Amino acid sequence: MNWKGSIQTTVILVVCGFYAGCAGLAKENTAPEANREGLPLVYSEDFEDGGEGWVFTDDAAWEVRLEDNNHALALHKSSQYQPPVRSPHSIARIEGLKVSDFILEARMKQIGKEYGHRDLCIFFGYQDPSHFYYCHIATKADPHAHSVFIVDAKPRLSIAKERTPGADWGTGYHKVRMVRSTETGKIQVFFDDMEKPIMVAEDKTFLEGGIGFGSFDDVGLFDDIKIWGKVAR
């Protein structure tokens, strides 16, 4: 037996496995669960194959970007879009997906300058450009920031019953989770801590609709999106 060759092979395999494991730390690693709290997985995207099937308010503001050997959906500049009523400018919606109850998880990274309204958003219950909800995760809460909002044919209105003073985006990725129950109308948003929500709202105006990501007028990255939910018929 060639012990020298055997040892060299073993070392190579161990080293390759080590680096592969380290590379995997950049992503959430494993395939998502088929079910979460009784809801089936209806969407999953990590953008490693390009990420098709999105509708943008401004195509030129979005791209799939490679950063640190990881692909993500990047909102890299302000969108040249004026909504019908006062509401976010940059929206990327998942084409053809409408849900009622859902659990959404994603990694999100803010890459803009620091200021009170530094934000990224999740859109849900989307009907059309004048009718939808969104959660606005920002550095500092005020009547127009860091809350759950409804857009119902008039400028956005905060509907959060509870919320924290703000969120620290810092410089890296954050795990964000949203849970929506149409039976109770409850909407919960989690940021890094998956046990305690940073905002809670209750509303039943739009019981189903589209899902999307974006910002009011900032920039950022979105990755490892998973949605478990009831698909609207």
pLDDT of residue 162: 98
Residue 67 covered by a domain: yes
CA distances from 175 to 7, 60, 130, 138, 151 (A): 41, 26, 28, 14, 25
User: What is the per-residue pLDDT across 151-163, written as a single tens digit (0 to 9) for each?
Assistant: 999 999 999 999 9
Residue 12 covered by a domain: no
Residue 90 covered by a domain: yes
Residue 6 covered by a domain: no
pLDDT of residue 128: 98
Residue 210 has pLDDT above 50, yes or no: yes
Residue 92 covered by a domain: yes
**Which of 225, 32, 187 lies closest to 100 in space, CA to CA?**
187
User: What is the per-residue pLDDT across 29-43, written as a single tens digit (0 to 9) for each?
Assistant: 567 899 999 999 999
Residue 71 has pLDDT above 60, yes or no: yes
Residue 11 has pLDDT above 80, yes or no: no
Q: Is the pTM of this model over 0.75?
A: yes
Output the six-digit token pair for 132.
């939808």
pLDDT of residue 220: 98
CA distances from 220 to 77, 213, 215 (A): 9, 10, 8
Q: How confident is the model at residue 20 (pLDDT cuts 50, 70, 90)?
A: very low
DSSP 42: E
Residue 22 covered by a domain: no
- Structurally, the chain folds into a number of domains equal to 1
Which residues touch 48 (CB under 8 Å, ≥6 apart)?
Answer: 71
Residue range of the domain that includes 173? 34-231
pLDDT of residue 24: 38
Residue 19 has pLDDT above 50, yes or no: no
3-state SS class at 29: coil
pLDDT of residue 27: 55
Residue 177 covered by a domain: yes
Residue 129 covered by a domain: yes
d(CA 191, CA 109): 12
Share of the chain above pLDDT 90, in %: 85
- Scan for tokens 């989307």, then name that residue: 126
Share of the chain above pLDDT 70, in %: 87
User: What is the per-residue pLDDT across 128-172, written as a single tens digit (0 to 9) for each?
Assistant: 999 999 999 999 999 999 999 999 999 999 999 999 999 999 999
> Domain holding 108: CATH number?
2.60.120.560
Output the six-digit token pair for 3.
């012990």
User: What is the per-residue pLDDT across 75-89, written as a single tens digit (0 to 9) for each?
Assistant: 999 999 999 999 999
Over the chain, what is the mean pLDDT?
90
